[in-house]
Amino acid sequence: MHQTTYLGAIREGIAEEMRREERVFVLGEDVGVYGGAFKVTDGFHDEFGPERVIDMPIAESAIVGVSIGAALMGMRPVAEMQFMDFISCGFDQIVNEAATYRYRYGGACSVPMVVRGPSGGNIHGGLFHSQSREAWFTQVAGLKVVMPATAYDAKGLIKAAIRDNNPVIFFEHKYLYRRVKENIPDEEYIVPLGKARVASAGTDITVVTWGAMVSLCQAAAELLEEDDIDLEVIDIRTMVPLDTETILESVRKTNRVMVVHEASRTGGFGGEIAAILAEQAFDSLDAPIVRIASADTHVPFSPPLERFYLPSVTDVVEAARKLARY
């Protein structure tokens, strides 16, 4: 075992894959000598050289497009968006090109690539450095969508994403980058895409969540012990593919459910989970499904504004109390 941060875990995961497989390479803005804006690729330039650590111009469409072309030829690119907010500049390439290639080739090609980068708020990054856009990509067939909540998962999931033969959009939560420190195994491991994790076991209310909200919900769970309310926190880890079985199993046990996410409420992926539960577990529900999400506004800059915007531990605690009484 050794201690690492969430960010360090991602770095370890990518580096291990680059050592294991020559066709894995990274590209993005400032990923070379500088080692990336957040230092995820720190040291890569020295170890792997500029051929496999490609410093790109400010051109997200080219970063994604070049990755697609290379992936079609059998390379395994890992493209960094300096901030996931900038993914909108490469959106066309992801949704119209990367996601559709295999489909329109009748299954005769694969696009094994990862687009990764820092997402999420609570760092006072303002409108353009704080967005949570995972739901956008869940609407597009042919893409896998991942957001880890722990350092262990961050490493295991990035390795799985790199080994996957499909385009994977990998959302890292920048609030967790250096705040999370964990002991992780020295031996190699993979966390498969599409398998949810019971972050905290409980019997009264199921909380379905992901990313930075997982630890927030776990903090709420600890506070709720005083109320004798036992939360079961499910970290879905990946939106696509989604492990509905683990969620359904939990809800059938607790009969009450909250969905908590950082992206704003309307059109968020929580709505999809609520709908699945309404379709597939209606008979198991003793109370309405509760959604807790950010406000339907932009991610604001000033701390009181951002606090207002984001879900809080208090939000989860109060909602859980009401839900338990329903």
Partner 1 sequence: MNAKTPARSQRRAPSVADGRDARRDRDLLYGLYRQLWRVRHFEESIGRLNKQGKILGGVYSGRGQEAIVVGTIYGLRRDDKVAPVHRDMGAFLVKGMSARQMMSQIMARASAPSRGKDSWTHTGDLEIGVIGSTSMLASSMPIAAGVALAGRMLGRDSVAVCYFGEGSTARGDFHEALNFAGIHRIPCVWICENNQYAYSTPPALESAVPFYKKGEAYGMPSCAIDGNDVLEVYDTTMAAVERARRGEGGTFVECVTYRMDGHSEADQANYRDRAEVERWAEKDPIGRYRRYLLDHGFDEADLPEPPPDVVQEVRDAVEFAQNSPLPEGHEAAEDLFDESAGVTHWATPYPNYVRTPWLGR
Of the two residues 204 and 235, which places its CB atom closer to partner 1 in the complex?
Answer: 235
Q: Which of 8, 117, 121, 142 binds partner 1 (CB under 8 A)?
A: 142
When asked if residue 192 is in the footprint of partner 1 (CB under 8 A), the reply is: yes
When asked if residue 94 is in the footprint of partner 1 (CB under 8 A), the reply is: no
Q: Which of 37, 42, 109, 324 binds partner 1 (CB under 8 A)?
A: 109
Give which of 117, 99, 88, 94 is closest to 14, Cα–Cα. Answer: 117
Q: Which two tokens stand for residue 268?
A: 């968020």
Least spacing, CB of residue 95 vs partner 1, in Å = 10
Of the two residues 60 and 204, which places its CB atom closer to partner 1 in the complex?
Answer: 60
Q: Which two tokens stand for residue 172?
A: 């890292």
Query: Which of positions 165-184 make contact with partner 1 (CB under 8 A)?
Result: 165-166
60: CB partners within 8 A, 6+ apart: 81, 86, 87, 89, 90
Q: Helix or strand or coil: residue 153?
A: helix
When asked if residue 279 is in the footprint of partner 1 (CB under 8 A), the reply is: yes
Q: Which of 18, 53, 154, 160 binds partner 1 (CB under 8 A)?
A: 160
Q: Could you give the CA distance from residue 264 to residue 262 in angstroms, rounded to a whole number?
A: 6
When asked if residue 26 is in the footprint of partner 1 (CB under 8 A), the reply is: no
Q: Which of 16, 37, 39, 69 binds partner 1 (CB under 8 A)?
A: 69
Phi, psi of 121 (to 5 degrees): -110, -150
Q: Which residue in 45, 129, 173, 261 is the catalytic one?
A: 129
* Cβ pair 77, 65 in contact under 8 A: no
When asked if residue 187 is in the footprint of partner 1 (CB under 8 A), the reply is: no
Is 298 one of the catalytic residues? no
94: CB partners within 8 A, 6+ apart: 64, 87, 115, 137, 140, 143, 167, 169
Helical packing angle, 313-325 and 213-224, nearest 10°: 50
Task: Return residues touching partner 1 (CB under 8 A).
Answer: 25, 51-52, 54, 56-57, 59, 61-62, 64-75, 77, 92-93, 96-97, 100-110, 112, 141-142, 144, 160, 163-166, 190, 192-196, 241-246, 272, 276, 279-280, 282
Catalytic residue numbers read 129
